[in-house]
């Protein structure tokens, strides 16, 4: 059972309740998709497993780089955390290069 690598969304166990109040266990799975997302900071595509709702949230929050930099490290998978660190290093390197040119 898969998890979203950016938000940690995973399967949820729930009860289906009938009219006579009989409870039946059921599992709801998030809509996990394997997606290639473009990182502007890295200048390349990144492969990640993410929920469709995460993809919508990402567009709402200003793109992949802004979304992953604002996500707490505890929610990210190991792969997503390495991508976040690469983006952070790339952005810090460009800021230092711009500062030395002035």
The span from the CA of 53 to the CA of 49, in Å, is 12
Predicted model pTM: 0.80
- Alpha-carbon torsion, ordered 14, 19, 20, 26, to 10 deg: -20
pLDDT for 93 equals: 84
Q: How far is CA 47 from the centre of its chain?
A: 11
pLDDT for 102 equals: 54
pLDDT for 94 equals: 75
Name the residue ranges covered by the structural domains of the chain.
12-101
- Tens digits of pLDDT across the chain (102 residues): 689 999 999 999 999 999 999 999 999 999 999 999 999 999 999 999 999 999 999 999 999 999 999 999 999 999 999 999 999 999 998 776 666 665
Task: State the CATH class of domain 12-101.
Answer: mainly beta
């Amino acid at each position: 059972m898969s998890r979203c690598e950016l938000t940690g969304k995973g399967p949820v166990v729930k009860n289906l309740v009938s009219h006579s109040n009989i409870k039946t266990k059921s599992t709801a799975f998030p809509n996990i998709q394997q997606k290639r997302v473009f990182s502007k900071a890295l200048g390349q595509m990144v492969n990640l497993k993410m929920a469709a709702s995460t993809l919508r949230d990402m567009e709402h929050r200003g793109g992949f780089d802004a979304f992953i930099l604002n996500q707490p490290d505890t929610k990210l998978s190991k792969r997503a955390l390495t991508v976040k660190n690469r983006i952070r290093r790339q952005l810090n390197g460009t800021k230092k290069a711009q500062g030395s040119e002035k």
